[in-house]
Amino acid sequence: MTRMSAADRREKLVAAAIRVMTRDGVAKATTRAIAGEAGMPLGVFHYAFRSKAELMAVVTQTIAQQSKAEIDAVTLSGTTDDPFDLVVGGLCAYFEHVVAHSDEHLVTYELTTTALRDTELEQVAKRQYDYYLEENEKLLSAVAELMGFEFTEPIPVVSRYVFSVMDGLALNWLARGDEEEARKVIELTARTILGLVRRPAA
């Protein structure tokens, strides 16, 4: 039998954790349940991850990376010279991932609120949002370079603004639906973002 590498064990346990959390909720995602879902002995879990908190952080990053890949494919493809179309396309890519994978995105909100109420997990929520914001900053910088403009406000502030709007919009849609109205909010957000850019001085 082929021996599974540590990286493969971690990947399999993360996938199992996402399945358990989307099916049964975060509260029922015990280490035993996750190991069982992965078809591994419980001891393997503790070999692969130092703690459940570490696993939760990786779960949120894994879900975020999936949506980020789709956003990057739209915004960095160079298929449009229109800044509005580019920004709307990137925001829509994120929102469409939420719509297509609503259960997984619900898990990320559950993880946040669970972590904020548990002293053993309190750093998970911070690490989760630090990761979101850092990746968003990288994307904003790349888009600015691609389109040849600069932001009139510090990129970390713009990143936090954009993410706050889209994070809130995703939760709003999960709670009440209305996809058509959500897309109008995306267009409004794109216009607001473009109001924060300028061409650099020659």
pLDDT tens-digit map of 106-126: 998 998 888 888 887 778 888
Do 52-198 and 1-49 have the same topology in CATH? Answer: no
Please name the fold of domain 52-198: Tetracycline Repressor; domain 2 (1.10.357)
The pTM (predicted TM-score) of the whole model is 0.84
72: exposed, middle or buried (Cβ count in 10 Å: 0-12, 13-18, 19+):
middle
- The answer on pLDDT for 150 being more than 60 is yes
> In terms of C-beta distances under 8 Å and separation of at least 24 residues, what long-range contacts does 123-129 make, across chains too?
123/53, 124/53, 124/56, 124/57, 124/60, 127/57, 128/57, 128/60, 128/61
What percent of the chain is modeled with pLDDT above 90? 50
26 SS3 class: helix
Supply the DSSP symbol for 202: -
Q: pLDDT confidence of 42, banded at 50, 70, 90?
A: confident
Give per-residue pLDDT as tens, 8-28. 899 999 999 999 999 998 889
Average pLDDT, the chain: 89
User: Architecture of 1-49 per CATH?
Assistant: Orthogonal Bundle (1.10)
- Kindly state the tokens that stand for 94: 């994120």
Residue 92 has pLDDT above 60, yes or no: yes
**From the CB of residue 125, how many other CB atoms can be counted at a distance below 10 Å?**
20
How does residue 1 score in pLDDT terms, banded at 50, 70 and 90?
very low
User: Domain locations in the chain?
Assistant: 1-49, 52-198
**Could you tell me which residue, 53 or 90, shows the higher pLDDT?**
90
> How confident is the model at residue 118, as a pLDDT?
83
Q: What is the pLDDT of residue 202?
A: 64
